[in-house]
Amino acid sequence: MELTPTTPAVLFPAISLLFLAYTNRFLHLSALVRKLHSDWLMGRDPGVLAQVRNLKVRIELIRWCQAVGVISLLGCLAAMLLLLSLLQLSALILFVASVVLMAVSLMLSLWEILLSGGALNIYLRQMEESPGAKPPPTS
């Protein structure tokens, strides 16, 4: 397989979209943490501690998604430089490593997405267990 400088460049649009998605998720979690903090200060929400544990893991996962994605992008840039320097084999190895790192970043993102459902389940469980909860109507 011959690698040209345009081959690693193919990942650039995907990487920028992924960073946009990761940043949006991070900003959403930041807003949620601020809301939970105010709920905790006011003593209104008994499920805050369960949410905090979930959010800590999710925030850490997003940070790793971003870090691994950055390393992947840097690897693509280095592969392009190696290709321009006519170091084909080194560029190919670095490009493959960058693709693998991007896959790791996506798997971490999937893990975080799956955990986000757990946060919603905490709220749903609280509503079901509250003394005034009514069972859902049956059809």
**Per-domain boundaries in the chain:** 6-127
Split at pLDDT 50, 70, 90, the class of 99 is confident
The pLDDT of residue 134: 58
Long-range CB pairs of 9-12 (<8 Å, 24+ gap) are: 9/76, 9/80, 11/72, 11/73, 11/76, 11/98, 11/99, 11/102, 12/73, 12/76
The pLDDT of residue 104: 92
Look up tokens 């650039």; give the residue.
12
The pLDDT of residue 20: 77
Average pLDDT rounded to a whole number, residues 32-61: 73
Neighbours of 128 (CB within 10 A): 10
- Report which of residues 91 and 119 the model is more confident about: 91
Per-chain mean pLDDT for the chain? 77
The pLDDT of residue 91: 85
Beta-carbon-side half-sphere exposure of residue 123 (alpha carbons within 13 Å)? 6
- Report which of residues 97 and 112 the model is more confident about: 97
Q: What is the DSSP letter of 13?
A: H
Dihedral over Cα of 34, 22, 93, 81: its sign: negative
**What CA–CA distance (Å, rounded) separates 67 from 120?**
26
**What CA–CA distance (Å, rounded) separates 12 from 137?**
50
Average pLDDT rounded to a whole number, residues 17-36: 76
Average pLDDT rounded to a whole number, residues 112-137: 68
Average pLDDT rounded to a whole number, residues 21-47: 72
Whole-prediction pTM: 0.67
